[in-house]
Structure 1
Amino acid sequence: MLLSQLEVLKTLYYNKGYSIHDISMVTGRSIPFTTKAISELLEMGFIKEDGLRISSGGRKPATYSLSANTGFIVSVAIDQFKTRVVIADLGTGFIGETQELEINIHQKHDAIFDLVDFINQTITASGRPKERFLAIGITMPGFIDAFKGNNLLFVKSPQGTFVDFIAEKTGLPVFIENDSTAIALAEQKFGLPIAKNDSMIINLGWGIGLGMIVNQKVFKGHSGFAGEFSHLALYKNGKLCSCGKHGCLETEASLLAIEAKAIDGLKAGEVSHLSNYEHITADDIINEAIKGDAYAIKIISECAYYIGQGLAILIHLMNPESIILSGKGSVIGKIWLAPIQQAIHQHCIPHLTTYTTLAVSELGDKAQLLGGLAIVVENLDKIKDKISAWLTVQHQNHN
């Protein structure tokens, strides 16, 4: 019955307070099959009954959720300059503070050793029993071969694959995914309802990433590398991109571009609260824009227009139901929307824009961390032996 138990666990992870009928509909399993799995998990203490749902007539159905403090996942969100690690309880979400490590993955060739130490320290500091940790979900930029467990651009392993090395040093199964793909999964599972079906998820970060939801599934392309939105060659500006080409969208619209433009503008005499900072970072620009600094808003609006030009291409190609602005830069909120909409209306066939909704994520900079959790949950069937042993221990502890 392990398969049915995993299906119930996955369903309740994403949908708290579901009834047996709800779970049966999601999993496609019969009511008797689902009822048996629910009974087994209740006996083990891994799920709990929440109470009875309000009903307009007939018998009120019982609803269920995952129990707290039974299982934990580690989410590791890596960007070009910072790594964040958080531990999540399957039943309640994030526990404790998100831990941060400043590390430049472009320059530090032995970053994997720092990464292992940081993960192990975070697990130990949590005070949770190691045997209750299920797996680690790692999300990061670059060309990710999730099947083999390697990043083809950043953070090389000294032996074996990236995933195997981390797993050996931490003692836990490890799953890896591209950051923008993971953010798309997070938006589909935890975000706005319009992100569930046919949606383009834009990762506003040091690059401009893209995760795609097509027919309710994450789309990664033939080789798993779809979504390199950042490297659309749109401009003849002579600016060198991180990919080695010139004129990519990233050179005009990423957080790196926003930093560079802010610094150049202040040197040219622009007036802004940003001049009070000794070293200007993207976070500083974002914070000042949120406070209303006119120059910070101007820079972001210019970059937003460029993003809108790129989105017009996506709309022509994919005809998405929605475009969700997510990732680190999305915390700026509605400042993005007007210039992006302007560019879309100027560069896109009007009939197509009628059927695409543009929105800002409600997950903010937590989206990547949530994506790390989701990729573990999506792969529970790949660690069935560990799950089976874990369920057995949970059963013994509950009794």
Structure 2
Amino acid sequence: MNYSVFGHLKGSELSGIAFKEHVHRKKIIAQLSAYNECTIPELAEFLNISIPKTNELTMGLVEEGLVREAGQKTEGVGRKATSYALNQSSCYFLGVEIKKYKINIGIMGFDKTIADSILNIPFPFLDPHESLDAIIKEINNFLDRSSVPKEKIVGMGLSIAGRINVKKGEVLTIYHFEDAPVKAILEEATELPVYIDNDSRTIAYGEYYFGKKIYAGNAIVVNLDYGLGTGIFIDGKPVYGASGYAGELGHIPLFNNEKICLCGKKGCMQTEASGVALIEFINQKMSEGSNSRLRTVLSNKGFLELEDVVEAVRLGDNLAIEGVTKIGYSLGKGLAVAINLFNPNIIVIGGTLSGLEDSLLLPVVQSSIFQHSLSLVNTDTEIIVSNIHEKAGLLGCCLLVRDKTLGLV
């Protein structure tokens, strides 16, 4: 595929008019991605260039196959203008989401729609090398059975928990190998360019562009899963920080306890406000004699998953509700710090525990935020629970690949 907007991936250097036109083409794609369909006059107004020049650039994208005619719509009195949209089948982007006990794989078309996917592939973690081999096997199996031609896949994204060096493609926790970074291993195995990112950032990207609303300002998306992380958007752009580790809310030393966090420090927010903390609390209470329907689940499986706790809450299990209330209060305390620092327009609570929805989790978190943050600041921040829940991670992973490939982020 020799699309002009991907020229920079092959080392092409542009200058002058060619560079400006390249930038305008990418802006057209970004605008069509945000609004689904636009007319030439609408695109010209957005780009602040002439209608003839906009038409020339758009027709170039149509000829390449990246953009298609989407129909007619009325503009002004009695006039109908052709609207344009992104062409799904022009190229595709592969996303792989690695979770604690499962893998999700999907292929996204150029227009942000999922063309193929397979969810909840069982993934019992073994030795890191064996696990990575298993991941590669699942990816190749998926590509072999998919109806999407592999030659049309432009790149692959990997979403995984832990500290990720985005620039080098290194996973500095589970899959940290001295001989080669994970990025290089995956690129050799799949013959695709690979982009690796932290799971909290991919979830945030998914929430930002596929959630309840499109946000124009500053947002914090919370990944409330087994761990705790955030994705931060400032003026609509994801924040990476100097080294790519921005958003580690879970490792703020907020609590005066003796609990050792996975990072090796004591008192991290994650030790009191995360899925691991929730399961530890429930297990401890049951060992002390508290009764719960989760006791049967634990006996049958040998371990508890967050989905088990969510289901127990829905069924009215008192211990599960007590545990969620406890971590919700601790989460609100930490989010109060984030609100005082960033003064965001909105905070979205995502991740597996967003499956608890508004009725229980949200009131506890909001009450704690109001108690611990400046009222002058928190009144301007809307707190909501995700409505796409666990879908956000795979959607964000695929879209990040597309936007990184296009140079939009």
d(CA) in 2 for partners of 1:40, 1:108: 46
State the alpha-carbon separation in 1 of the partners of residues 45 and 183 from structure 2.
34
The answer to whether the 8 Å contact 2:310/2:356 transfers is yes
User: Which segment drifts farther, 76-85 or 40-49?
Assistant: 40-49
User: What's the counterpart of residue 156 of structure 2?
Assistant: 136
Cα distance, 1:105 vs structure 2:
5.8
**Whole-Å Cα distance in 2 between the matches of residues 6 and 374 of structure 1?**
15
Residue 283 of structure 1 is aligned with which of 287, 296, 307?
307
Give the distance between the partners of 1:206 and 1:175, measured in 2 at CA: 23
1:180 is displaced (CA, Å) by 1.3
Q: Alignment partner for residue 333 of structure 2, among 275, 294, 309?
A: 309
Match of 1:253 among 252, 269, 273: 273
CA distance in 1, matches of 2:371, 2:350: 23
Distance (Å, rounded) in 1 between the aligned partners of 2:53 and 2:313: 54
Q: CA deviation at 1:110?
A: 4.0
Maintained 8 Å contact 1:189/1:196? no
SS in 1 for 2:108: strand
**Structure 2 letter corresponding to 1:60:** K
TM-fit CA distance, 1:252: 1.4
Q: Which consecutive residues of structure 1, in runs of 5 or more, have no partner in the other structure?
A: 384-399
Candidates 382, 386, 396, aligned match of 1:357: 382
Separation of aligned partners in 2, 1:21 and 1:154: 50
The correspondence for 1:370, drawn from 395, 398, 402, is 395
Residue 79, structure 1, aligned to residue 103, structure 2: no
Provide the rounded CA distance (Å) in 2 between the counterparts of 1:373 and 1:359: 24
For residues 194 and 38 of structure 1, the distance between their equivalents in structure 2, rounded to whole angstroms, comes to: 25
Paired residues for 1:176-187 under 5 Å: 176-187=196-207
TM-score (norm 2): 0.85
Contact 2:199/2:393 (8 A) holds in 1: yes
With over 3 angstroms needed to count, the CA separation of the structure-2 counterparts of 1:247 and 1:15, relative to structure 1, is same
Residue among 207, 229, 254 paired with 2:249: 229
Aligned-residue offset at 1:374: 1.8
For the residue of structure 2 that corresponds to 1:185, the secondary structure is helix
Contact 2:33–2:112 under 8 Å retained in 1: no
1:34-62 deviations in Å (ceiling 9; x for gaps)? 32232233334443222223446363332
Offset at 1:109? Answer: 4.2
Q: Does the 8 A contact of 1:254 with 1:303 survive in 2?
A: yes
**Residues 174, 98 of structure 1: CA spacing in aligned structure 2 closer, same or farther, 3 A cutoff?**
same
Distance 2:33 2:234 in 1: 22
Specify the SS of the correspondent of 1:364: coil
Using a 3 Å threshold, how does the CA distance of structure 1 residues 94 and 241 change in structure 2: closer, same or farther? same
Percent of residue pairs identical:
29
Aligned pair partner of 1:41 in 61, 64, 74: 61
Mapped to 2, the partners of 1:104 and 1:28 lie a distance apart of 53
**Alpha-carbon distance in 1 for matches of 2:343, 2:333:** 15
Match of 2:219?
199
Alpha-carbon separation, structure 1, partners of 2:204 and 2:216? 10
Q: CA RMSD in A?
A: 2.5
Q: CA deviation at 1:203?
A: 0.6
Distance 1:343 1:107 in 2: 40
Q: In structure 1, what is the Cα distance between the partners aligned to 2:121 and 2:264? A: 27
Q: Cα distance, 1:191 vs. partner?
A: 2.4
Compare 72-81 and 225-234 and name the one that shifted more: 72-81
My pick for the range that moved more, 334-343 or 177-186, is 177-186
Measure how far apart 1:198 and its partner are.
Answer: 0.7
SS at match of 1:156: coil
Q: Which runs of 4+ in 1 moved over 6 A?
A: none
Does the alignment pair 1:32 with 2:23?
no
CA–CA distance in 1 between the matches of 2:221 and 2:343? 13
Judge conservation of contact 1:71–1:90 (CA < 8 Å) in 2. Answer: yes
1:258 Cα offset (Å):
1.3
Q: Distance in 2 between matches of 1:28 and 1:221?
A: 31
Equivalent residue, structure 2, for 1:329: 353
Q: Which moved more, 1:104-113 or 1:166-175?
A: 104-113
Do 1:196 and 1:213's aligned partners in 2 also have CA atoms closer than 8 Å? no
User: Greater CA deviation, 260-269 or 54-63?
Assistant: 54-63
Q: CA 1:38/1:292 → structure 2, altered by over 3 Å: closer, same or farther?
A: farther
Larger deviation, residues 354-363 vs 26-35: 26-35
Given candidates 342, 364, 382, the residue that maps to 1:339 is: 364
Q: What does residue 145 of structure 2 align with?
A: 125
Q: Deviations over 1:100-134 (max 9, x none)?
A: 44446685344322222221111111132211111
> What residue number does 1:173 align with?
193
Q: Offset of 1:177 from its aligned partner?
A: 1.3
Q: 1:351 to 1:111 in 2, by over 3 A?
A: same
Change (3 A) 1:382 1:234: closer
The residue type equivalent to 2:114 in the other structure is: F
The Cα shift of 1:291 comes to 3.6
Unaligned runs of 5+ in 2: 6-21
Residues 241-280 of structure 1, C-alpha deviations (whole Å, 9 max, x = no match) = 1111122111112111111222222333334332331233
Q: 2 CA distance for matches of 1:192 and 1:28?
A: 30
Structure-2 change in CA distance of 1:98 and 1:26 (3 Å): farther
In structure 2, C-alpha distance between the alignment counterparts of 1:284 and 1:95, rounded to whole Å: 30
Post-superposition shift, 1:76? 0.8
* 264-273 or 222-231, which deviates more: 264-273
Whether the 8 Å CA contact 1:231–1:250 is kept in 2: the answer is yes
For 1:241, the equivalent position in structure 2 comes to: 261
Asked if structure 1 preserves the Cα contact closer than 8 Å seen for 2:170 and 2:183, the reply is yes
Deviation per CA, 1:133-173: give whole Å up to 9, x if none. Answer: 11101111222221121112221356433212211210111
- 1:119–1:157 distance in 2 versus 1, CA, 3 Å: farther
Structure 1 residue 382 displacement after superposition = 6.0
